Amino acid sequence: MAKEPLFFKDEGAMGDVFEEAKQIVEQTRLSRDERSRVATITEDRLRQLTGKFIEYDTINAQNNEYRIRIHQLRVKLLKGELTPDEAKKALDALAGEREELQKKYAGLVELLDGQMKNIDTEVETLNTREATLTRQRDQYHSALHMEVKWLAEGELKEIAGLKESLKKKRQSLVEEKSLIFNKKDELAESFSLVEDVIGQKTTRYVSADNARASELNFLARFDMKMNAFPVKIFSPQESKTYTVTDWKKHYHYDAGQAAPKPVKDAADKVIPVNAGSVYAIEHKDLAYFGKSHRKVVAEAFSYCNISDYADLGFDTRAVTLTTLMGVLRPIIQQAEAGDYYHVLGIASPTGWADDVLGWVRGDGTGNSYLSRNVAVCLIDSVIGEIYYNQNDLRILSYIDYFRHEFDKERVEKLKKIIRADFDASEYLEFEKMFEKTKEERFIIQLAFYELEREKVGRIKFVEGVGMVFMR
């Protein structure tokens, strides 16, 4: 019996496979050429786009020189080495330089805008190429066109990498731009440093020793509170509260090298160092391995005009909004990039300018700072006042960590007030005490109970009035 053919059944023609093979080889060659052409063009463009701005460094150096001159003028004025008239003349002489710098920064902003526009165009081109390649890759799904498919896939991967690096570059340009705006603001208010002294517009005199003591005091108290385990840390991003019994990620820092060197007698001077303390909750991708991701960061730091403390031994300037923006800018950017919640307690011994307080507290009309990733709480470390946005419910659980006093101290303070009031009246209403002191309810309650234990009076609940402290 004749054997049935298994493969050569002649079910159809294979067609001109030779021509087909030629086409595939040609297509592959074209794809390869196109890919190398695109890669060369893109590399060139990328080199142009990611090139460093030489002008930026030059202008920054000029700006630094200008700032040093203004600072020296202020120091001389405060030390009495210059009369107000002489200082005014010196300021007038510097006006041209300030304008020149502002113009240069404006030019730089234009340059950055152009660069960002170029990046956007490049990303657009890459998107078009990506769409073409994706179409090509999906079109050649047969195994016969595997090589073309692989080439397309290889280029798609490269495009993804290029897009990522362009995205990063754009992000860094945005950061640089905001830095330039910050420098422009600083320039705009640079004269006020001297003019305030001429106009005797001093708000508070804080010596370097006192500033350093306040700084140490603030951080030590914050550390104590953060280590009174178990510590409750609220993460609004995850809508959960962590109960911390041990800090795995905690460190201290100070201005270190960034701080300007004192003019003389460095060893004898005690100056604040803008120290900070950071506590972070991090999670790994897997239980024990993988990259750590920040979830919540609680940071407290003290901010002072170190250069004034170093040169003059004191400072009188409250922290302005421009300065605060300069400090917050990198923190906000990092928190947004990492998508974690960063709560900040910033203490200043010279206090805060009115515009800063307005920005943080707001007036209920929606002009206060409220961010998904960053919450700010400001502390006046000399008078112990604390400022925050009362409408931001997420920061409320952190306020006590930044607050100067411990609960015990707050209760003691309140007990003194109650005792003084109680001497002059027959009874004290809880609600009236709350309205008067604006202290938290549980502190008032604790103060009442302690005074009752000390047999100063007794607590009674009166219907329609509430808790009352009476004889």
The least distance separating other proteins from the CB of residue 30, rounded to whole angstroms, comes to 10
Strand 341-348 and strand 374-380: the pairing is parallel
Number of chain positions touching other proteins (CB under 8 A): 28
Q: Which of 241-251 are b and which e, b meaning 16 or more Cβ less than 10 Å from the residue's Cβ? A: eeebeebeeee
What is 167-213 written as a DSSP string?
HHHHHHHHHHHHHHHHHHHHHHTHHHHHHHHHTT-----EEHHHHHH
Q: Which of 1, 54, 143, 267 binds other proteins (CB under 8 A)?
A: 143
The least distance separating other proteins from the CB of residue 32, rounded to whole angstroms, comes to 6
The least distance separating other proteins from the CB of residue 17, rounded to whole angstroms, comes to 4
The least distance separating other proteins from the CB of residue 1, rounded to whole angstroms, comes to 13
* Long-range CB contact pairs, 149-155, < 8 A, 24+: 151/28, 151/31, 151/32, 151/35, 152/31, 154/35, 155/35, 155/38, 155/39, 155/129
**288 contacts other proteins (rule: CB under 8 A):** no
Residue with Cβ nearer other proteins (36 or 292) = 36
Residue with Cβ nearer other proteins (9 or 453) = 9
The least distance separating other proteins from the CB of residue 148, rounded to whole angstroms, comes to 11
**41 contacts other proteins (rule: CB under 8 A):** no
The least distance separating other proteins from the CB of residue 19, rounded to whole angstroms, comes to 9
What is 383-451 written as a DSSP string?
T--EEE-TT-GGGHHHHHHHSSS-HHHHHHHHHHHHHHHHHHSSEEEHHHHHHHH---HHHHHHHHHHH
The least distance separating other proteins from the CB of residue 157, rounded to whole angstroms, comes to 17
What is 202-268 written as a DSSP string?
----EEHHHHHHHHHHHHHHHHHHHTSSSEEEEETTTTEEEEESS-SEEEEE--GGGSPPPSS-TTT
Residue with Cβ nearer other proteins (36 or 367) = 36
**1 contacts other proteins (rule: CB under 8 A):** no
Residue with Cβ nearer other proteins (7 or 288) = 7
Q: Which of 61, 68, 131, 144 binds other proteins (CB under 8 A)?
A: 144
Residue with Cβ nearer other proteins (22 or 167) = 22
Contact 276, 256 (CB under 8 A): no
The least distance separating other proteins from the CB of residue 20, rounded to whole angstroms, comes to 6
Q: Which of 1, 31, 33, 376 binds other proteins (CB under 8 A)?
A: 33
Residue with Cβ nearer other proteins (18 or 288) = 18
The least distance separating other proteins from the CB of residue 181, rounded to whole angstroms, comes to 44
Residue with Cβ nearer other proteins (5 or 96) = 5
* Long-range CB contact pairs, 327-333, < 8 A, 24+: 327/303, 328/374, 328/376, 329/175, 329/178, 329/179, 329/182, 330/175, 331/299, 331/374, 332/371, 332/373, 332/374, 333/175
Residue with Cβ nearer other proteins (151 or 444) = 151
The least distance separating other proteins from the CB of residue 146, rounded to whole angstroms, comes to 10
> Could you check whether the bond before residue 230 is cis, i.e. omega within 30 degrees of 0?
yes
Reduce the DSSP state of residue 70 to 3 states and report it: helix
Residue with Cβ nearer other proteins (22 or 103) = 22
Separation between Cα atoms, residue 82 and residue 312, nearest integer Å: 15
Separation between Cα atoms, residue 363 and residue 84, nearest integer Å: 38
Of 1-9, 210-218, 405-413, 443-451, the window that binds other proteins (rule: CB under 8 A) is: 1-9
**383 contacts other proteins (rule: CB under 8 A):** no
The least distance separating other proteins from the CB of residue 368, rounded to whole angstroms, comes to 59
Provide the H-helix boundaries in 13-82. 17-50, 54-79
The least distance separating other proteins from the CB of residue 346, rounded to whole angstroms, comes to 56
Three-state SS sequence of 445-460? HHHHHHHHHCCCCEEE
Which residues between 406 and 435 bind other proteins (CB under 8 A)? none
Reduce the DSSP state of residue 302 to 3 states and report it: strand
**461 contacts other proteins (rule: CB under 8 A):** no
Q: What track of x and - describes contact with other proteins for positions 3 through 32 (by CB under 8 A)?
A: x-xxxxxxxxxxxxxx-xxx-xx--xx--x
Residue with Cβ nearer other proteins (11 or 363) = 11
- Measured CA distances, 160 to 155, 225, 262, 434, 439 (Å): 9, 47, 50, 60, 55
Residue with Cβ nearer other proteins (16 or 452) = 16
Of 2-10, 167-175, 293-301, 379-387, the window that binds other proteins (rule: CB under 8 A) is: 2-10
**286 contacts other proteins (rule: CB under 8 A):** no
Q: Which of 37, 252, 284, 408 binds other proteins (CB under 8 A)?
A: 37
The residues that touch other proteins, with contacts defined as CB under 8 A, are: 3, 5-18, 20-22, 24-25, 28-29, 32-33, 36-37, 143-144
